[in-house]
Amino acid sequence: MPDSVQHVTDPFARFQEWMDEAWAHEPEDANAMTLATATPDGTPAARIVLLKGADQRGFVFYTNKESRKGEELAANAHAALLFHWKPLGRQVRIEGYVEHVADAEADAYYATRPRISRLGAWASDQSRVLPDRVELERRLAANEARYPGDDIPRPPHWSGYRIIPQRFEFWQNMPFRLHDRTVYARAPDGGWTIGKLYP
């Protein structure tokens, strides 16, 4: 039977239900999502990142703001997300615009990361050419010496982004490729219109 998603008027609530079920079936990285960005001229790029926060405000991930995705989001603050949970035969597609999280929010999340990950945020010029692995290890060692304790400040170039959805699609696998697709689109009054798509 198709999922009863069309009876749920809040797409965030439906997403959380599906995410909870995904964690039960995919305990490793159920929060992995494809993030698609584009340059101002429309050249796309996609990569896997991890969802680190989801609520009525949107969907949050963290990265180096000077990375390729950071530069693309700075120039074109729109993005798409895709969650794929194969054991459940489900996908969720989300499209929207992007904003930075508050510094306090980024600081709070950064403080929860393992020490080596926090040092790595200082050591890595993400997406830039790396001459060889030794250079990354040298820079990591230099930052370990710079911050010998657990008090490692968040680098100014490392923060979070929040995708503010304007459209959701909940896709449920069905026999013979007659899949069930439910779309939530942001309405002018801030609510949601709900409809179906042909598979």
pLDDT at 22: 97
Does the annotation count 177 as an active-site position?
yes
CA dihedral 133, 135, 140, 144 (to 10 degrees): 140
Contact 64, 157 (CB under 8 A): yes
pLDDT at 27: 80
For the stretch 2-43, pLDDT in tens is 554 556 799 999 999 999 999 999 888 999 999 999 999 999
Which of helix, strand or coil describes residue 24?
A: helix
pLDDT at 108 over 70: yes
For the stretch 159-179, pLDDT in tens is 999 999 999 999 999 999 999
Look at residues 60, 94, 98, 63 and name the one whose alpha carbon lies nearest to residue 78.
98
Please identify which of the residues 68, 177, 181, 186 carries the catalytic annotation: 177
What six digits make up the tokens of 179?
């899949």
pLDDT at 54: 97
Write down all domains in the chain, each with its CATH number in brackets.
4-113+156-197 (2.30.110.10)
The Cα 69–Cα 125 span in angstroms is 13
Orientation angle between helical segments 133-146 and 115-123, nearest 10 degrees = 120
Using a pLDDT cut of 70, give the percent of the chain over it: 96
Q: What does the angle CA 137 – CA 28 – CA 156 come to, to the nearest 5 degrees?
A: 45
1 band by pLDDT with thresholds 50, 70 and 90:
very low
pLDDT at 157 over 90: yes
Give per-residue burial for 23-51: e unless 16+ CB within 10 Å, then b: eeebeeebbbbebbbbeeeeeeeeeebeb
Tell me the pTM: 0.92
β-bridge pairing 32-38 and 58-64: unpaired
Q: What does the angle CA 113 – CA 116 – CA 117 come to, to the nearest 5 degrees?
A: 45
For the stretch 33-90, pLDDT in tens is 999 999 999 999 999 999 999 999 999 999 999 999 999 999 999 999 999 999 999 9
